[in-house]
């Protein structure tokens, strides 16, 4: 997560003052106010309608496909798109000519995210990141700070070692299809007080904390940033964010953090490995404005070397649907401050440790308190002794009036191996199905 030192925004909480990584009150106050308005407009007062629509899409994608087998070997056969997000764009040999089709494909709470669809294409040709105040044309940093929508692609495979955190402005797509692009061995990506960002098909790993300094965050502004925390992707006070087909591992802090009123987020088709604290949604038990946070996790694979926080939630509404949890050392899903967690059709394979069989963990609350939190499990496949402990109102937020088709159930956890089969980055070659 990113952090500031002197920003007095949103109730003057000490957390913001201590953790937002800038020291220019007027500029960032304005950014924060604008971002907050967008986030409030993105909040859906009937979140179950969003979850049910996603479940209906899963059912449509699986019609006529009853195989549940997923091979762990590298797939080399004809193109398969096994879930509704992928079926929207994959297996089209002309994907490279129709890149912006991707913007029609997100589902869940981030379904309105279009990134840079309405802008031109910008090609990254230079992997360097030497000038943080006046970045060179052709670099990734130059592209992400430009005004207006921009669809960013890569002219070749590359490893980008970010000298400091990469400040991404609104209405951007980072689309690494067709190249093998790694953000590694340096700072991570920061999505702060912006909206409408797509991150697609990147490898993000070995991210470290950086000391900060003068960094440009837009064409019109640069300023001093304090030390970054070492997150792979930090979402701070932002909305309409879609992260898809990203492979992540081994970051100094979290792989993905979403905090400070961020909402309308979908994280899908990603592969997570070799990390302790994987995802944090809501960074403070005292920051009640995270009640607007709504996040969808769908078709992701939580794989080898993971310990906990897949995710760890506070305050908001979290739809965890058809993900494959094959590894954890402590627990999979945790939270505090009465988040609503709807777990549907996931596969949970518990570790051998008899003390780590529980999928769920409630923190900083006694049972008399957390028994009222709405955490429910529907259609999950619980293997090797895995236990999901439900609590609270098992019908919270459910709305009547949806069509019978929209109310078709998600696919049960036995289908997850197929739905999440192609999680992580994809090998895409122009002229061939991706």
Tokens standing for residue 202: 């990147």
Examine the residue annotation and report whether 70 is marked as an active-site residue of this protein.
Answer: no
Pick the catalytic residue from 90, 309, 312, 418: 309
pLDDT of 14 reads: 36
Is it the case that residue 3 has pLDDT exceeding 60?
A: no
pLDDT of 416 reads: 95
- The band of 31, judged by pLDDT with boundaries at 50, 70 and 90, is confident
367 Cβ neighbours under 8 A, 6+ residues apart: none
Which of 386-390, 402-406, 408-412 has the lowest average pLDDT? 402-406
- The band of 403, judged by pLDDT with boundaries at 50, 70 and 90, is very low
- The band of 396, judged by pLDDT with boundaries at 50, 70 and 90, is low
| CATH code, 339 | 2.160.20.10
What is the number of domains present in the chain?
Answer: 1
pLDDT tens digits for 269-302? 999 999 999 999 998 999 999 999 999 999 999 9
Phi, psi of 250 (to 5 degrees): 50, 65
- The band of 69, judged by pLDDT with boundaries at 50, 70 and 90, is very low
- As a whole number, mean pLDDT of residues 394-410 equals 47
pLDDT of 21 reads: 60
pLDDT of 24 reads: 63
Number of residues that this document lists for the chain: 434
- As a whole number, mean pLDDT of residues 87-91 equals 94
pLDDT of 7 reads: 36
Q: Whole-angstrom Cα distance, residue 324 to residue 307?
A: 15
Q: Is residue 161 part of a domain?
A: no
Q: Is residue 245 part of a domain?
A: yes
Structural domain span for residue 327: 14-115+233-419
Q: Whole-angstrom Cα distance, residue 157 to residue 203?
A: 11
Longest dimension (CA), the chain: 59
Q: Is residue 32 part of a domain?
A: yes
Q: Is residue 61 part of a domain?
A: yes
pLDDT of 210 reads: 96
Q: Whole-angstrom Cα distance, residue 318 to residue 70?
A: 26
Q: Is residue 1 part of a domain?
A: no
- The band of 77, judged by pLDDT with boundaries at 50, 70 and 90, is confident
- As a whole number, mean pLDDT of residues 193-205 equals 98
Is it the case that residue 47 has pLDDT exceeding 90?
A: no
pLDDT of 39 reads: 84
Is it the case that residue 53 has pLDDT exceeding 80?
A: no
Of 312, 317, 327, 325, which is closest to residue 363 (Cα–Cα)? 312
- As a whole number, mean pLDDT of residues 260-267 equals 95
Q: Whole-angstrom Cα distance, residue 334 to residue 308?
A: 8
Q: Is residue 221 part of a domain?
A: no
Tell me the sheet residues that pair with 266.
Answer: 242, 296
Which of 39-53, 92-106, 242-256 has the lowest average pLDDT? 39-53
Is it the case that residue 63 has pLDDT exceeding 50?
A: no
- The band of 13, judged by pLDDT with boundaries at 50, 70 and 90, is very low
pLDDT tens digits for 304-357? 999 999 999 999 999 999 999 999 999 999 999 999 999 999 999 999 999 999
Is it the case that residue 409 has pLDDT exceeding 70?
A: no
Query: How much is the mean pLDDT over the chain?
Result: 88
Q: Is residue 307 part of a domain?
A: yes
pLDDT of 12 reads: 38
Q: Is residue 326 part of a domain?
A: yes
pLDDT of 400 reads: 42
Is it the case that residue 1 has pLDDT exceeding 70?
A: no
- The band of 54, judged by pLDDT with boundaries at 50, 70 and 90, is low
pLDDT of 51 reads: 63
pLDDT of 410 reads: 72
**Residue 214: its H or E element:** strand 213-218
pLDDT of 16 reads: 39
pLDDT of 322 reads: 94
**Residue 143: its H or E element:** helix 140-144
Which of 78-87, 354-363, 366-375, 395-404 has the lowest average pLDDT? 395-404
- Look at the pTM and tell me if it is higher than 0.85: yes
């Amino acid at each position: 997560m990113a952090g500031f030192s002197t920003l007095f925004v949103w109730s003057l909480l000490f957390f913001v003052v201590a953790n937002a990584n800038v020291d220019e009150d007027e500029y960032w106050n304005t950014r924060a106010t604008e971002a907050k308005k967008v986030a409030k407009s993105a909040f859906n007062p009937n979140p179950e309608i969003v979850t049910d629509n996603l479940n209906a899409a899963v059912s449509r994608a699986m019609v006529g496909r009853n195989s549940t087998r997923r091979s762990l070997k590298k797939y080399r056969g004809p193109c398969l798109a096994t879930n509704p997000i992928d079926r929207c764009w994959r297996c089209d040999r002309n994907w490279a000519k129709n890149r912006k089709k991707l913007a029609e494909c997100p589902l869940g709470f981030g379904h309105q995210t279009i990134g840079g669809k309405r802008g031109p294409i910008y090609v990254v040709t230079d992997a360097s990141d030497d000038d943080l105040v006046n970045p060179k044309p052709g670099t990734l940093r130059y592209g992400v700070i430009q005004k207006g929508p921009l669809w960013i692609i890569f002219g070749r495979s590359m490893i980008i070692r970010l000298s400091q955190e990469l400040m991404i402005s609104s209405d951007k797509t980072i689309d690494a299809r067709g190249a093998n692009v790694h953000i590694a061995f340096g700072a991570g990506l920061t999505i702060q007080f912006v909206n409408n960002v797509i991150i697609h098909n990147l490898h993000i790993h070995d991210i470290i904390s950086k000391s900060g300094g003068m960094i440009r965050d837009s064409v019109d502004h640069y300023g001093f940033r304090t030390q970054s925390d070492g997150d792979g992707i930090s979402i701070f006070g932002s909305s309409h964010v879609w992260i898809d087909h990203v492979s992540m591992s081994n970051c100094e802090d979290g792989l993905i953090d979403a905090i400070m009123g961020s909402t309308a987020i979908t994280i899908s088709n990603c592969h997570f490995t070799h990390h302790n604290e994987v995802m944090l949604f809501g960074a403070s038990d005292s920051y009640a404005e995270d009640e607007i946070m709504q996040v969808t996790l769908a078709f992701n694979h939580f794989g080898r070397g993971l310990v906990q926080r897949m995710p760890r939630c506070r305050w908001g509404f979290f739809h965890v649907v058809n993900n494959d949890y094959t590894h954890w050392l402590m627990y999979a899903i945790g939270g505090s401050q009465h988040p609503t967690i709807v777990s549907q059709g996931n596969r949970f394979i518990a570790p051998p440790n008899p003390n780590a069989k529980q999928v769920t963990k409630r923190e900083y609350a006694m049972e008399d308190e957390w028994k009222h939190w709405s955490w429910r499990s529907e259609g999950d496949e619980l293997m090797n002794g895995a236990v999901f402990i439900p609590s609270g109102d098992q019908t919270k937020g459910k709305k009547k009036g949806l069509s019978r088709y929209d109310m078709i159930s998600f696919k049960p956890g036995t289908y997850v191996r197929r739905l999440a089969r192609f999680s992580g980055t994809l090998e895409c070659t122009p002229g061939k199905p991706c």
